Structure 1
Amino acid sequence: MSNLLIDRNGPLATVTLNRPDVRNAFDDALIVALTDAFATLGRDEAIRAVVLAANGKAFCAGADLSWMRRMADYTHAENLADASALATMLRTIHECPKPVVARVQGDVFAGGMGLVAACDIAVAADTARFCLSEVKLGLIPATIAPYVIAALGARAAQRFFLTAEVFSAQTAAAIGFVHDAVHADALDETVTQVLKHFLAASPDALAACKRLLREVGGRAIDDVLVADTAARIADIRASEQGREGVQSFLNKTKPSWLAQS
């Protein structure tokens, strides 16, 4: 059975971690499969949004133990290559031009935190637990840090990176790591409602918004940034979907992307 399942349902795709026997821990093979899946779906014009899900009780326990045993004998160069593959996977998910929703049905530990943080929106079952456990193993959450710090916020990251304590879905929602913590029975409906918002939006505008968030957030408000943002809105206004969206609003008609959904 494949360690990664990909299901297409009209404009929506679901990528499912399928290693429940090892709590969906990832190894080098799963990292390659995830990278390829999100790169392919990102290029697929028929796909409007992607859900990252998992089978079994855990969402993702981080690195697979067998893989870690192999890594114990790696040279520095081999470790660097391995870490670079993980970094590429996370970046591919984060920069996927389609909105990505993490459907978190169970525990998220260590590297799994990076998977959730790389997604645009995360919805968790209220029984899920979260942990950045690396320092207890003599390691640091380095590769996942850019995404996790952005999702947690710097102050919360200081606590959970350094203490490696387990925290609840309710805490994850309170600090913004996940957007919603809901009863397990409501998980799919909550994800569905989020996807409906994506299907109501222009695909090109969503992709441009994702670039805007990555490239503008945290920058100093100076002449360069002001000019950059002015150019971005001018570009999208002049684009095919930008023109269509405004005309549809003014004329009280439906744009083409609504018909597609």
Structure 2
Amino acid sequence: MNTATSAVPHDASVRCVSRDAIFQIELNRPEARNPLGPEMIDALDAALTQAIEMPAARAILITAAGEAFSAGGNLGNMAERLNAPPGANGKDPIAQGNRRYGDFLRRLCSAPKVVVASVRGAAMGGGAGLVCAADIAIGAQGAKFGFPEAAIGLVPGQILPFVAARIGAQAARRLMLTGERIDAAEAHRIGLLDYHVTDPEQLTARTDELLARIVACAPGASAATKQMLHTVLGAKRWWSDELPDYLDEAADTFARQMRSEAIEGVAAARGKRAPNWQPAIVARD
């Protein structure tokens, strides 16, 4: 097997490795649980371009270093983001940053290569959205998934279409409106994961088996099949015509929430207390 590491430095937010027909993109901020901040998203987008432009690459594998797949959006610099000046076009910089992730997920879905997400540990918020945007997702026992945005005053705006497309509207409602966290078995049951590996030590081997089946298919046929699926499911029109407008509006909504309820929500989460909008529930007799 030929293995080569790409030009992306090992200390970058993303590490890329080309192995024969597989182009692996590894989230590489394990010390911070692989947050999806601007640097990570830019690095992911650049890696995706590299994978698409590599003729030998037949499948794109997305993994993550460390114990967590991705904790989601980076709120560690919230004060800095709230105080950032408007962009050159007068657009809210928070909305612009949020919208960037939607662009990346849209490109990932429409990539002509088969995209596989292999998940260990927690995939929350935008991290779970990344899993949902892959063509095929495989995860090990011990993986956790959830959409905690509303619980801290935010909205899952950029990821919502991709999550609903994978697990259906009702499952998306349940998870996004309750903030419930689910394990790998439940994620497999509702379709967030296509494959559930009960022994975490076997995840790499099972992922390699899956990739072998993918690259055994003709590359042109695989790309054409993806396009046909988009057309049949109505996704092609959704991506090309309606999705950008939705993502623009969702980014504005995200920015409004970050500048309002999320200030209290994030403070409460960091202080390990209930936010001021959470009432006490009196038990029924």
Name 1:139's counterpart in structure 2.
Answer: 154
Select 2:164's aligned residue among 141, 149, 152: 149
User: Separation in 1 of the partners of 2:71 and 2:195?
Assistant: 20
SS at match of 1:142: coil
Select 2:120's aligned residue among 105, 112, 129: 105
Select 2:203's aligned residue among 175, 181, 187: 187
Over residues 175-194 of structure 1, what are the superposed CA-to-partner deviations in whole Å (9 max), with x where a residue is unaligned? 00001121211111111111
Q: In 1, are the aligned partners of 2:101 and 2:158 still within 8 Å (CA)? A: yes
One-letter amino acid matched to 2:230: R
Q: In 1, are the aligned partners of 2:41 and 2:100 still within 8 Å (CA)? A: yes
Q: What is the TM-score normalised by the length of structure 2?
A: 0.74
One-letter amino acid matched to 1:29: E
SS at match of 1:41: helix
> Unaligned regions of 5+ residues in structure 2, if any?
1-10, 236-285
Name 1:5's counterpart in structure 2.
Answer: 15
Greater than 2 Å deviation, 4+ residue runs: 65-77
SS at match of 1:93: helix
User: Separation in 1 of the partners of 2:202 and 2:149?
Assistant: 31
Task: Name the one with the larger helix percent.
Answer: 1
Structure 1's 134 and 192: CA in aligned 2 closer, same or farther, altered over 3 A? same
SS at match of 1:66: coil
The percentage of aligned residue pairs carrying the same residue is 34
Q: In 2, are the aligned partners of 1:129 and 1:169 still within 8 Å (CA)? A: yes
SS at match of 1:57: coil
Work out whether 1:64 is the aligned partner of 2:74: yes
> Unaligned regions of 5+ residues in structure 1, if any?
220-261
Q: How many residues align?
A: 219
User: Separation in 2 of the partners of 1:119 and 1:67?
Assistant: 28
- Identify the range of structure 1 (9-18 vs 66-75) with the bigger mean alpha-carbon deviation: 66-75
Give how far 1:208 is off.
1.1
SS at match of 1:65: coil
Give how far 1:204 is off.
0.8
Q: In 2, are the aligned partners of 1:39 and 1:96 still within 8 Å (CA)? A: no
Q: What is the TM-score normalised by the length of structure 1?
A: 0.80
Name 1:94's counterpart in structure 2.
Answer: 109
Name 2:180's counterpart in structure 1.
Answer: 165
Give how far 1:155 is off.
1.1
Give how far 1:119 is off.
0.6
Give how far 1:69 is off.
3.6
